[in-house]
């Protein structure tokens, strides 16, 4: 039975400590049932309260599997890596798509293609295809998507109405967004300084994509941000701050952060994945809703985010682990989480249980429609190192300190050197 409050208690923690020191952990319980251990990432108590009944339902419907939850606090990935080093990795881990290539590069994950193909209870058609693509790498699937989330827009309905700005249309463009942002940007207390901004910064890579550009070439061996489509897009992006002043100043962002600026009613448009709704329901004292991201010159593109459950290579109960992640990402597993997540299982996502649920936002259909134009993020084992090479230079351009092209001329060679180091490692 799962132990109250559905977390591995002190006794099991000691078992894991002994297992870590000896390089072993139990495979089956005293009844001979396979043990599946899931390493759950840090999350607030209210969210844990939603997960516990879901895990209880799995236990009720799968009495032949012993399911345990190891709630990781602090730095999730570092602690999981320590467990891998000790050869006591959990059976299942949680991940975001940008971390996937590095885990695969470490040889940490079990490919799931055959498990899914042979499952009598699930198939690829059960999930949004873009989410399966997002958690695939080098042509192999490594995670079953837990939620179908992409960067979409949250907007302050009351602020739009107060400023006489029409709500975003489904076909609106960059220029429409800029026009709305200008109208929303104001000095509300008359002290001569802007204290209400039209929008938080739209993710810069989405501007590149919507103008037909790329960050890396198709082979992942060269940075392509100096190509005309990317430069043009990023010039538009940077001008939102330094020329038009419709995004918050660095000082305002440093004090509060983009999410809190929106929640306090100081920003009219915010761009975030769907689960942010659970924060805004409690933090916002105004009416807000969802809208599509604006369309660029080459079409509308957003970035798929979401999360997935992956089986580790060290799991000794892979079949049982797959049954848990399959069930957890099915309508039966996700139905208890529709209040905070946009389901990755198509059946539930398109059902009234999700779309017509009473809690805001009112237009949840936007989150589902975004799956049609979402694209997986850049995939590379050194993703975060690549982004760290690019963004500081772009920030200078955003502040008007250097032209965009000059910023990219500094960033692109750094990215190329990172890519070259990766190739050299693969060649050895």
pLDDT tens-digit readout, 271-292? 999 999 999 999 999 999 999 9
Q: What is the pLDDT of residues 6-35, one digit of tens each?
A: 444 434 444 454 444 444 678 999 999 999
CB 26: neighbour CB atoms within 10 A?
16
pLDDT at 317: 97
- Please choose, from the candidates 306, 19, 379, the residue with its C-alpha nearest in 3D space to the C-alpha of residue 149: 306
How many Å apart are CA 145 and CA 247, to the nearest integer? 33
pLDDT at 228: 98
Tell me: cis bond preceding 242? Omega within 30 of 0 counts.
Answer: no
Q: What is the pLDDT of residues 102-117, one digit of tens each?
A: 999 999 999 999 999 9
* Mean pLDDT across 47-59: 96
* Mean pLDDT across 215-233: 97
Least confident of 141-145, 151-155, 189-193: 189-193
Instruction: Kindly indicate whether the domain formed by 152-303+382-427 is annotated with CATH number 3.30.360.10.
Output: no
pLDDT at 24: 64
Q: What is the mean pLDDT of the chain?
A: 93
Taking the domain 10-149+305-375, which CATH number applies?
A: 3.40.190.10
* Mean pLDDT across 120-129: 98
Residue 422 reports pLDDT greater than 90 = no
Query: Collapsing DSSP states into helix, strand and coil, what is residue 303?
Result: strand
pLDDT at 26: 86
pLDDT at 243: 97
Phi and psi for 310 in degrees, rounded to 5?
-125, 145
Phi and psi for 186 in degrees, rounded to 5?
-150, 160
Paired sense of beta strands 374-375 and 302-303, if any: parallel
Residue keyed to tokens 């797959």: 322
> Where exactly does CATH 3.40.190.10 map onto the chain?
10-149+305-375, 152-303+382-427
Provide the CB-side half-sphere exposure for 216 (13 A, CA). Answer: 21
Asked if 59 and 287 count as a contact pair (C-beta separation under 8 A), the reply is no
Q: Name the more confident of 391 and 423.
A: 391
**Quick one: CA dihedral 130, 134, 137, 138, positive or negative?**
positive
């Amino acid at each position: 039975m799962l132990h109250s409050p559905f977390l591995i208690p002190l006794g099991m923690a000691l078992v894991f400590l002994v297992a870590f020191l000896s390089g072993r952990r139990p495979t089956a319980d005293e009844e001979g049932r396979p043990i599946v251990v899931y390493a759950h990432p840090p999350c607030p108590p209210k969210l844990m309260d939603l997960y516990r009944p879901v895990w209880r339902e799995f236990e009720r419907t799968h009495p032949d599997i012993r399911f345990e939850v190891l709630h990781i606090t602090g730095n999730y990935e570092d602690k999981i890596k320590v467990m891998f080093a000790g050869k006591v990795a959990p059976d299942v881990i949680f991940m975001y798509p940008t971390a996937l290539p590095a885990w695969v590069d470490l040889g940490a994950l079990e490919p799931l293609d055959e498990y899914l193909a042979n499952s009598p209870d699930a198939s690829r058609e059960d999930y949004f295809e873009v989410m399966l693509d997002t958690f695939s790498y080098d042509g192999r699937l490594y995670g079953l998507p837990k939620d179908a989330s992409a960067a979409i827009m949250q907007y302050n309905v009351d602020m739009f109405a107060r400023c006489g700005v029409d709500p975003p249309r489904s076909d609106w463009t960059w220029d429409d967004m800029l026009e709305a942002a200008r109208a929303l940007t104001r000095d509300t207390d008359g002290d001569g300084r802007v204290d209400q901004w039209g929008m938080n910064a739209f993710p810069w890579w989405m501007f590149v994509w919507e103008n037909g550009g790329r960050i890396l070439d198709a082979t992942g061996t060269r940075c392509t941000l100096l190509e005309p489509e990317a430069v043009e897009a990023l010039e538009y992006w940077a001008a939102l701050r330094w020329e038009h002043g419709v995004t918050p100043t660095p000082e305002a962002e440093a004090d509060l952060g983009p999410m809190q600026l929106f929640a306090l009613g100081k920003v009219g448009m915010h761009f975030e994945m769907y689960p942010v709704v659970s924060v805004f329901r409690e933090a916002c004292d105004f009416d807000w809703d969802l809208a599509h991201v604006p369309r660029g010159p080459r079409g509308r593109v957003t970035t798929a985010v979401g999360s997935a459950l992956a089986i580790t290579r060290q799991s000794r109960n892979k079949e049982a682990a797959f049954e848990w992640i399959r069930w957890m990402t099915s309508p039966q597993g996700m139905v208890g989480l529709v209040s905070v997540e946009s389901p990755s299982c198509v059946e539930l996502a398109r059902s009234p249980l999700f779309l017509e649920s009473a809690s805001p936002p009112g237009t949840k259909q936007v989150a589902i429609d975004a799956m049609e134009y979402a694209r997986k993020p850049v995939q590379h084992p050194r993703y975060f190192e690549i982004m760290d090479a690019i963004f500081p230079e772009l920030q200078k351009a955003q502040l008007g300190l250097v032209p965009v092209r000059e910023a990219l001329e500094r960033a692109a060679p750094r990215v190329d050197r990172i890519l070259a180091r990766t190739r050299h490692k693969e060649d050895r």
